[in-house]
Chain A
Amino acid sequence: MIAAPIHIVGHRLMLCPSGVLLWPGERLMAVADLHLEKSSHFAARGRLLPPYDTRETLKKLSFVLRRYEPRHLVLLGDSFHDAEGHARLADDDRATLAALLAGLRVTWVLGNHDPAPPASLPGEAMEELALGPMRFRHIGGGPIARHREGEISGHYHPKASLETRAGRISRPCFLAGPQHVVLPAFGALTGGLDVRSPALAPLAHRQGRVFLLGKDRLHSAPVPFVVPESAPERERVDEGWPSFP
Chain B
Amino acid sequence: MLDAARAGESALLIAPTGAGKTLAGFLPTLAELAATPREGLHTLYVSPLKALAVDIARNLVAPVSEMALDISIETRTGDTPANRRARQREKPPNILLTTPESLTLLLSLPEAREMFGGLRRIVIDEIHALAGTKRGDQLALCLSRLSALVPGAARVGLSATVAHPDALRAYVAPSGRSADAKLVEVAGGALPDIDIQLPEGHLPWGGHMGLASAPEIYRRIEAARVTIVFVNTRAQSELIFAALWRMNEAVLPIALHHGSLTVEQRRKVEAAMAAGKLRAVVATSSLDLGIDWGDVDQVIQVGAPKGVSRLMQRVGRSNHRMDEASRATLVPANRFEVIECVAALGAVKARKQDGDPPRPGGLDVLAQHILAMACHAPFLPDDLFAEVTRAAPYAALPRRDFDDVLRFVEDGGYALRVYERYRRLFRDAEGYMHVRGPAIARQLRMNLGTIVEQPLVKIRMRGGPMLGEVEEWFVSTLRPGDNFLFAGQVLRFEAMDGVVAMVRPGGGPGEPRVPAYGGSRLPLSTYLAAEVREIMHDPSRWSALPDPVREWLDMQRLRSELPEPDGLLIETFPRGGRWFLVAYTFEGRLAHQSLGMLLTKRMERLGYAPMGYVSTDYVLSAWSAFEPTDMETLFSEDMLGEDLDEWMAESSMLRRTFRNIAMIAGLIDKNHPGAEKSKRQMTVNSDLIYDVLRRHEPDHILLRATRAEAASGLTDISRIAALLARAKGHIRHRVLDCVSPLAVPALIEVGREWVAGGAEDALLAEAAALVEEATGGAESFEGNLNDVNEALPPAPREPRPRKRRPGGRS
What residues of chain A have their CB less than 8 Å away from a CB belonging to chain B?
2-7, 9-10, 12, 14, 22, 24-25, 38, 40, 42-53, 56, 67-69, 90, 148, 156-157, 162-167, 169, 171, 177-178, 188-194, 196, 199, 207-209, 211-212, 214-223, 225, 228-229, 231-241, 243-244
Contacts and interface: CB of A to CB of B under 8 A. Distances in A.
Given A53-B692, A244-B205, A218 B795 contact: yes
B207 to A, nearest CB: 5
Contacts of B474: 231
Contacts of A221: 767-768, 771
B384 interface: no
B403 interface: no
Nearest to B552: A244
Main secondary structure of the interface of B (DSSP, over half): loop
A166 B614 CA distance: 11
B107 to A, nearest CB: 20
B83 interface: no
A203 to B, nearest CB: 14
B784 A178 contact: yes
Nearest to B693: A50
A222 B775 contact: yes
B208 A217 contact: no
Chain B's interface size range is 35 or more
Contact of A191 (B204, B233, B235, B681): B681
Contacts of A234: 516, 752
B695 A56 contact: yes
Contact of A239 (B204, B668, B755): B204
A243 B202 contact: yes
Interface stretch (B181-189, B268-276, B413-421): B413-421
B558 to A, nearest CB: 12
Pairs A-B, 7 closest by C-beta atoms: A48-B412, A191-B685, A24-B807, A232-B518, A164-B763, A166-B755, A220-B795
Contact of A2 (B424, B785, B790, B798): B798
Contacts of B783: 207
B207 A3 contact: no
Nearest to A198: B496
Nearest to B682: A191
27 contacts: A3-B801, A14-B806, A48-B408, A48-B412, A49-B689, A50-B414, A148-B788, A178-B784, A188-B692, A193-B680, A193-B681, A209-B781, A211-B795, A217-B765, A220-B768, A221-B768, A222-B775, A229-B473, A234-B516, A235-B520, A236-B208, A236-B752, A239-B209, A240-B202, A240-B204, A241-B207, A244-B552
Main secondary structure of the interface of A (DSSP, over half): loop
Contacts of B454: 232
Nearest to A212: B764
B765 A22 contact: no
B767 A164 contact: yes
Nearest to B593: A233
B780 A209 contact: yes
Given A43-B412, A69-B804, A211-B795, A235 B764 contact: no
Contacts of A2: 798-801
B617 to A, nearest CB: 13
A196 B478 CA distance: 12
A28 B473 CA distance: 39
Interface stretch (B28-36, B459-467, B741-749): B741-749
Nearest to A1: B800
Q: Looking at A9, A162, A169, A235, which has the most chain B CB atoms within 10 Å of its CB?
A: A235
Interface in B762-793: 763-768, 771-772, 775, 780-785, 788-790, 792-793
Contacts of B543: none
B696 A50 contact: yes
B443 interface: yes
A44 B423 CA distance: 9
Contacts of A199: 678
Interface in B736-763: 741, 744, 748-749, 752-755, 759-761, 763
A48 B419 contact: yes
A22 B477 CA distance: 35
Given A209-B781, A233-B516, 9 more contacts: A9-B788, A45-B443, A46-B440, A49-B684, A164-B764, A166-B755, A207-B783, A233-B521, A240-B207
A46 B612 contact: no
B780 A222 contact: yes
Contact of A50 (B209, B236, B692, B766): B692
B612 A40 contact: no
A207 B789 CA distance: 13
A165 B751 CA distance: 9
Contacts of A178: 781, 784-785, 788-789
A232 B476 CA distance: 13
A245 B689 CA distance: 52
Nearest to B808: A24
Nearest to B782: A207
A244 B744 contact: yes
B681 A192 contact: yes
B81 interface: no
B760 A169 contact: yes
A231 B516 contact: yes
Contacts of B422: 40, 43-44, 46, 48
B499 interface: no
Nearest to B768: A219
A169 B764 contact: yes
Interface in B463-487: 471, 473-474, 476-477
